[in-house]
Amino acid sequence: MANLRSLLSFLLLALVGAVQAISANGGNRLLVILEDIADKDGYTKFLGDLEGRGFDIVYETPKSESLSLFHLGERSYDHVLLFPTKAKGLGPNLTPSVILQFINADGNILLALSGSTPVPSSLVSALLELDIHLPADRQGLVVDHFNYDTTSASEKHDVLLLPTPGPLRPDYKDFFALSGSDESGVIAFPNGLGQTLGQGALLSPILRAPSTSYSYNPKDESEAIEDLFATGSQLSLVSALQARNSARVTVVGSADMLSDKWFDASVKKVGEKSSVKTLNREFAKAVAGWTFGEIGVLRVNWIEHHLNEAGQSNASNPKIYRIKNDVTYSISLSEYSWDKYIPFTVPENDELQLEFSMLSPFHRLKLNPIISSEDSTTYSVSFKLPDQHGIFNFLVNYKRPFFNNVFEKNTVSVRHFAHDEWPRSFVISGAWPWIAGIAATVTGWLGFCALWLYSAPPATGESKKKQ
């Protein structure tokens, strides 16, 4: 019976580990919200890929009475995927405060919009809180008269064709590299709504619009469009936000680019004679994978700091050091990529740094990779502690777009020299004249005392008469 219980416990732990392996920073519970449950038939490939990667999907509509992001104060789902709806509001269960509360509770949200469907006011308000701005009338269409699909958008020019990362489009190269895809091609962005981003450090554009594109209200039937929402690179077609708690929010301006119609569709660029296949499926996988924590998640395996001076204790992570000690700091990092952890490699033109700080950094040093294994990389640096005693921190504060935040702080005390740790005077060459002066004084004094003690006093007159 005991062996059976042990076996069941082992299988349960293995099952839990397998579930958690789907998403490194969350579970596998995914809520998909559509205008009508039947609308999911238009996204069978995209949703099928999510199910194939192990997500447990629940489908709801905004009007559903059972829809609730929380139950007894806890998240009912780990991730939310929201497709365009025609409703002006999303009801009491999807108010801006509830959406923000879900993000603050480490929930991830993938929001798909449309250029032909007005955005619900609750979503507009929630995005404003995140410093993501939509057109004032909650509706807008991005067009480009130089980068469009001549087959399906020969008149409206509302199907943008965007090249994959390369010399012409380096703006989302770092994001695309996370997915591990190196295919070259085009991404179709049909019937999309653009956004403008604020100056917040938490925001990052995944896909920007070409310089020749602009956004306008399709209801404006005038021949000359005067009131444009934004133009060129001001427009972000796919935007990402990573909160301080590493929760992720992605806004995809075109829900159609996730549909079956545009997965592997044949498109033709302006001036091209042959058609090419779109890479929407690979791009959608990368966007969903990043949002739901399947890529770009860093893990700290262990941290160690110790003395590296000969003849002294080299215990790991001591609580107290002495000024001018030579120390070594090491940190092991792994990166979650789809279904496993791999060694984390710092991107080009970037550094992983260590700060040794009190109120401000006394040292800011580059951590260099020294050891790499199958699932981790160890970064390390050696340095001399400053000539200042007090309470210090070993601090690694790595915050970069498309990676979750790494903030590791280890507090230690740095004491001054003890009375028996100062160097002896004879070791210091500058003290030799003073030592010689002291030695000469002592020697002269002892010589004077010896002469005084062993010298007989002179004879007086009375002693001579007695003789």
Q: Give the Cα separation of 356 and 362 in Å (integer).
A: 6
Mean pLDDT of 337-361: 91
Q: Identify which has the larger pLDDT, 423 or 257.
A: 257
- What local confidence, expressed as pLDDT, does residue 132 receive? 95
Q: Identify which has the larger pLDDT, 420 or 292.
A: 292
The winner for highest mean pLDDT among 44-58, 225-239, 424-438 is 44-58
On the question of pLDDT at 249 being above 90, the answer is yes
CA distances from 88 to 110, 138, 195, 235, 376 (A): 19, 10, 19, 24, 48
On the question of pLDDT at 49 being above 90, the answer is yes
339 Cβ partners below 8 Å, 6+ apart? 21, 22, 53, 294
On the question of pLDDT at 17 being above 80, the answer is no
CA distances from 141 to 76, 249, 253, 416 (A): 34, 22, 10, 67
Mean pLDDT of 289-294: 93
Q: Give the Cα separation of 263 and 48 in Å (integer).
A: 13
**pLDDT per residue as tens digits for the range 372-421:** 999 999 999 999 999 999 999 999 999 998 899 999 999 999 999 888 78
Q: Give the Cα separation of 444 and 452 in Å (integer).
A: 12
Give the least confident one: 1-5, 78-82, 336-340: 1-5
Query: Among 217, 218, 212, 236, which residue's Cα sits nearest to residue 227?
Result: 217
Q: Give the Cα separation of 161 and 210 in Å (integer).
A: 9
**pLDDT per residue as tens digits for the range 146-185:** 988 888 888 888 899 988 765 444 455 667 667 666 667 7
Q: Taking all residues of the chain, what is their mean pLDDT, rounded to a whole number?
A: 86
- What is the band of 117 on the pLDDT scale with cuts at 50, 70, 90? confident
CA distances from 97 to 69, 101, 126, 202, 229 (A): 12, 6, 8, 19, 27
Q: Identify which has the larger pLDDT, 139 or 312.
A: 139
- What local confidence, expressed as pLDDT, does residue 2 receive? 40
On the question of pLDDT at 349 being above 80, the answer is yes
- What local confidence, expressed as pLDDT, does residue 165 receive? 64
Mean pLDDT of 63-70: 89
Q: Identify which has the larger pLDDT, 317 or 166.
A: 317
Helix and strand element counts for the chain (H, E): 8, 28
Question: Read out DSSP for 392-432?
Answer: EEEEEEE--TTS--EEEEEEEEEE---TTTSPPGGG-GGGH
Phi, psi of 89 (to 5 degrees): -125, 160
On the question of pLDDT at 465 being above 80, the answer is no
